[in-house]
Amino acid sequence: MPLTGPKEMFARAYKEGYAVGAFNVNNMEIVQGIMMAGTEEKAPLILQVSAGARKYAGQKYIVKLVEAALADTDLPVVLHLDHGPDFELCKACIDGGFTSVMIDGSHLPFEENIKVTKQVVDYAHDKGIWVEGELGRLAGVEEHVSSDKSIYTDPDQAVEFVQRTGCDSLAIAIGTSHGAYKFTGEAKLDFQRLEKIGNLLPGYPIVLHGASSVPQEFVDLANKYGAKVGGAKGVPEDLLRKAAGMAVCKINIDTDIRLAMTATIRQYFAEHPEEFDPRSYLKPAREAVKKMVQHKIKNVLGCSGKA
């Protein structure tokens, strides 16, 4: 089945009260693990590529990996650029076969964010490509995206931003954060803010970034075998499930996949020090990715059986 755009995917998610998972991909095993999970759960998928992943693997390689993964499935799958830093990179991904792009102008002043987002929208819409914008700023670090504090999205500004840019979906800041170290105290999301934005933009798909839950079992497993991932704390899954039942149609998940994969590889090396064949340790790592994505689809996103 060919790649699709998010329009129908999000319309159904909004209507039926669930979210679609946007899972970051970097290599073949991650793509395979996500696709295996989606196939077993009969769930729609968004495979998203960060600027760093694109630089690491190469855009053509990633696109061909995804195309290969789609050869034997009828799942609806979106190929999305995550955190596009500028118009040029968004354009390159649009021209290279992506069906959705995110332009991240959240670090810019409001008017400049509008300007660059609209520039991407104008180019993308001419080619039938979906555009995600971002308003507000998440704390934490993810590749080139870094902030030491959160700036929550202003609901009235969100309406103006969507109207003036024409972006198709909007990533907002309501308390999630990038990376594995999201909270020092009690985790909270501003559902009142989310509800207000949803009421002001009825039927409009909202996106949550920085929404990994940082499962402690994988933090502990990684640390048991030599990692130093101390104090990592993510977004409780019940809060994410609640958001998915509101206006949130897309939830980004990256850190949890990294943790599952890395902890599994660390364990394998410790238990099999004689092994040096990459296939030996990447096979269980791929299975860990699959199980993590299955868990998210069933228990957090609520999109199992929605393909």
In a domain, 41, yes or no: yes
* Torsion sign across C-alpha atoms 15, 82, 3, 306: negative
Residue showing tokens 């149609």: 249
Distances (CA, A) of 158 to 38, 131, 198: 32, 15, 10
In a domain, 107, yes or no: yes
In a domain, 227, yes or no: yes
In a domain, 146, yes or no: yes
d(CA 133, CA 54): 19
In a domain, 306, yes or no: no
Model confidence pLDDT, tens digit, residues 137-150: 775 444 544 444 56
Model confidence pLDDT, tens digit, residues 189-248: 999 999 999 999 999 999 999 888 998 999 999 999 999 988 777 889 999 999 999 999
Question: What 8-state DSSP symbol labels residue 204?
Answer: P
> How many domains does the structure of the chain reveal?
1
Measure CA 193 to chain center: 21
Query: What CATH number does the domain containing 191 carry?
Result: 3.20.20.70
Model confidence pLDDT, tens digit, residues 55-109: 999 999 999 999 999 998 999 999 999 999 999 999 999 999 999 999 999 999 9
In a domain, 1, yes or no: no
d(CA 75, CA 203): 24
In a domain, 103, yes or no: yes
148 is catalytic: no
Structure tokens at 230: 């101390």
pTM of structure: 0.94
pLDDT given for residue 179 in this prediction = 65
Domain that holds residue 156: 7-301
Kindly name the residue from 72, 74, 82, 256 that is annotated as catalytic: 82
d(CA 236, CA 242): 10
In a domain, 307, yes or no: no
